[in-house]
């Protein structure tokens, strides 16, 4: 009876340990949702401006500057999505490593270290690229506000 209780305790411990990375995975999925939603909105705006520039009446230096700015934001968001996806993959591999190690009664710590470390590092990279995108958007917003204030001053 003690042996069965011991095995149940070991299995419960493995399940608890394997669930820990799942919380990281859930958080990463939430960030991926935010990144991909923003990417979709920026891409839609980029396509809209590109269509305007292709017509003869829509070409202006301001529109070209907007295209350049939107392309930078798109690249930053694409990098965020790729890095967050890589983080999710590493987290899944760490979870599988925990479960596989428990089944074989041997867990290779260095494998878990690299998978979990990779998950944290790539998620950190995703945050950095997202921060760059947010700062780019904020800078553009401030520039737009300044331009609008100049237009209002000229009209008065």
Q: What is the pLDDT of residues 39-95, one digit of tens each?
A: 999 999 888 888 887 776 656 777 788 888 899 999 999 999 999 999 999 998 888
Residue 107 phi/psi, 5-degree rounding, is: -115, 125
Structure tokens at 19: 């669930």
Residue 106 phi/psi, 5-degree rounding, is: -150, 130
pLDDT in tens, 91-143: 988 888 877 766 666 667 777 888 889 999 999 999 999 999 999 999 888 88
Compute how many other C-beta atoms are within 10 angstroms of the C-beta atom of residue 72: 16
Whether residue 156 has pLDDT greater than 80? no
pLDDT in tens, 19-44: 778 788 899 999 999 999 999 999 99
Of 123, 131, 61, 139, the C-alpha closest to 86 is: 123
Question: pTM, whole model, 2 decimals?
Answer: 0.78
Rounded to whole angstroms, the Cα distance separating 118 from 102 reads 21
- The pLDDT of residue 87 is 95
- The pLDDT of residue 36 is 93
| Type and span of the H or E element at 123 | helix 109-155
Q: Are 113 and 64 in contact (CB under 8 A)?
A: no
Q: Are 35 and 81 in contact (CB under 8 A)?
A: yes
């Amino acid at each position: 009876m003690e042996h069965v209780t011991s095995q149940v305790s070991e299995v419960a411990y493995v399940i608890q340990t394997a669930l820990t990375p799942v919380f990281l995975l859930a958080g990463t999925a939430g960030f991926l949702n935010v990144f991909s939603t923003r990417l979709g909105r920026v891409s839609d705006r980029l396509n809209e401006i590109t269509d305007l520039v292709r017509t003869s009446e829509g070409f202006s230096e301001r529109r070209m500057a907007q295209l350049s700015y939107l392309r930078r934001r798109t690249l930053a968001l694409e990098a965020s999505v790729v890095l967050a996806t890589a983080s999710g993959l590493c987290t899944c591999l760490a979870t599988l490593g925990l479960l596989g190690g428990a089944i074989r009664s041997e867990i290779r710590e260095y494998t878990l270290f690299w998978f979990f470390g990779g998950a944290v590092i790539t998620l950190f990279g995703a945050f950095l690229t997202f921060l760059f995108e947010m700062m780019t958007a904020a800078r553009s917003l401030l520039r737009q506000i300044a331009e609008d204030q100049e237009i209002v001053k000229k009209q008065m």
